[in-house]
Structure 1
């Protein structure tokens, strides 16, 4: 743990080691409640306070409240349930690739494939109407941009709230088989709780998977030896997904925790209210945790990475994300065996000013 001065002058801690990061994320004395949280980077404009987020956004709660929400949702994201989704995800993937093939090259892979696929999957799981999906995606971009002003973030939150309240009302009057429909029938959650849960799941299901699909493809195209090995043996795909998750670690900022009490932790005296930021990219490149960590190796067997976090807040949708990535990468690479960048690599712009790292666009041809 290294002392870190936050933009407002608070001195907290930065965690970059794999095992310490794992321990912090698994220790409930480090609270996830929004009170006292600070960003390690200075945000332009006014900052939208997490104190006003709806109660169902349980990423900002601690046990037992967090446990209660998670228990209500966990059955929708089990290994068995996710495996049942594979044919439908494959169907969506194939349809998008048909569109790419029909359009001919070059195309922007972000807009043609990486963004639509998780949008389709997540929207169907939650019952988001097709006509609302593009608008929802725009607001997610605003909320994840470090360049958005507080006013822009507030407008997006307000518009999202209106969209989701209408969605919840429709689910209550005519519940479907999607997750939101099931929650209205099987639980006593309030509209505000359902709003928070739906908002959280939609955001989580879109942003990280979109950027992993695009940036992961860019990484494979940039490592022709690794790509050739994968094409020669598709059984390496699961390992390739894990290595891409470790190597890329697209969540650039956080997780952030606040000490709920005074306590000793790994030889450090932690004070109540002290803010601790975990750097997932650094932890996943820790040389004590991974041999030659800056080398991309799909045969590494990197299963101990923290791309999905750890402990009580381990990403609940990690099985689904892994499936989307595996189906997406393999289907794309099989359909287009000559897939390549359509512009020089130095022209690919990266998302430096976003919470989630990725590429703004990825022009490809075949």
Structure 2
């Protein structure tokens, strides 16, 4: 990766307001929309702040997602590398043509039709947790009562991971995503979860069934004669982490935002058909995994009028792109009727989030059910006292005290 001394900023930049992107993004977009920035890893990279540039980069074949390459821009202090046991890349770290085949193998698990089949069970899970919330003491922490257990239980049932192990994998996930742990702590969490999933896949290979995603993938591999244990472990790793962390944080953030915007909340209460539009706007407003769109160039390529050379890293600041006034009028205004489907909160191009249909469905069921069954719900502390996750690579809330 090419290093230069002059940088315009050092990432990550802090959110001054929990509901808005860092204010420096506006300055960068105006003064230097494709600019050199420093990273916590000690690397430098190009940062993109315009929606058009981010979408162009993510759709270009000249950028790689290979996280094991020394050119890949890292948002943690030091890179996790294990020369003795290199981590098998999962979908998020694959490039074509390997990525295309691996994605095709599993994309059928996340179709709209498949999600509709899951809807009754997700509704049951949400109702059970709201039953427990209403029967419990007030105030309650919505993160522990609803936001975290619902997507965790859903992804566990989908994959075939025992939910009884949720405290273990949630703890590993939290440490892996934290910006405040040491490289050794992050490595320990990483290896612990990988070893756990390695053993789980081995057990399923001994008795594979059609009852869960991992079992179906094992049977599909056997039928094609292309069994790949390491690929299944990588897939389980990606889906388990992404399947609960992102949705859990969006449930909490979305609840706060809707409660803080009663005029917008009233619209979805009056017409639940608007809930999906509200979800798109919430995804755009927060863009909680904004640096998941990091890449590095595999050839010299021009983006936004700037030449990016082969081997140079690029961080698509998708939260900046999702607040680009050229893409969204009055971008800092929360408006559920703006029609924000062209946001990049789920990425763009070949790596666009595999589980986005599941995330949308879970959020829709949670918001519709929560505000119908607990109409008097309110935040139990001042908003400025809420513990937002400024210390994590995925934004969210550590806790959300509510009462009703």
TM value normalised by structure 1: 0.95
Q: Which of 100, 109, 112 is the equivalent residue of 1:79?
A: 112
Q: Which of 285, 307, 315 is the equivalent residue of 2:345?
A: 307
**Structure 1 position 162, deviation (Å):** 2.2
Q: Which of 211, 214, 234 is the equivalent residue of 1:180?
A: 214
1:203 aligns with 2:241: yes
Partner of 1:154: 187
**Structure 1 position 11, deviation (Å):** 4.2
Q: Which of 34, 44, 61 is the equivalent residue of 1:2?
A: 34
Describe how 1:1-366 pairs up with structure 2 within 5 A.
Answer: 1-7=33-39, 10-34=43-67, 35=69, 36-39=71-74, 41=75, 43=77, 46-49=78-81, 54-176=87-209, 177-187=211-221, 188-366=226-404
Any stretches of 5+ residues in structure 1 without a counterpart?
A: none
The size of the alignment, in residue pairs, is 363
**Structure 1 position 247, deviation (Å):** 1.0
Cα distance, 1:266–1:348 mapped onto 2, change above 3 Å: closer
TM value normalised by structure 2: 0.87
Which secondary structure state, in structure 1, belongs to the residue aligned with residue 45 of structure 2?
Answer: strand
Any stretches of 5+ residues in structure 2 without a counterpart?
A: 1-32
**Structure 1 position 344, deviation (Å):** 1.5
* CA–CA separation in structure 2 for the residues paired with 1:282 and 1:299: 20
What's the RMSD between the two structures over aligned residues?
Answer: 1.6
Deviation per residue, 1:200-251 (Å, 9 max, x gap): 1111101110100001101111111111222122111111111111111111
* CA–CA separation in structure 2 for the residues paired with 1:24 and 1:290: 19
* CA–CA separation in structure 1 for the residues paired with 2:82 and 2:62: 20
**Structure 1 position 274, deviation (Å):** 1.0
* CA–CA separation in structure 2 for the residues paired with 1:53 and 1:112: 37
Which stretch of structure 1 is more off in the superposition, 289-298 or 171-180?
171-180
2:152 touches 2:163 (CA, 8 Å); kept in 1? no
* CA–CA separation in structure 2 for the residues paired with 1:127 and 1:358: 26
**Structure 1 position 360, deviation (Å):** 1.1
- Which aligned runs of 4 or more in structure 1 are off by greater than 2 angstroms? 5-12, 49-56, 263-268
1:53 touches 1:196 (CA, 8 Å); kept in 2? no
**Structure 1 position 346, deviation (Å):** 1.7
Which secondary structure state, in structure 1, belongs to the residue aligned with residue 291 of structure 2?
Answer: coil
* CA–CA separation in structure 2 for the residues paired with 1:263 and 1:246: 28
Which stretch of structure 1 is more off in the superposition, 339-348 or 306-315?
339-348
* CA–CA separation in structure 2 for the residues paired with 1:197 and 1:50: 19
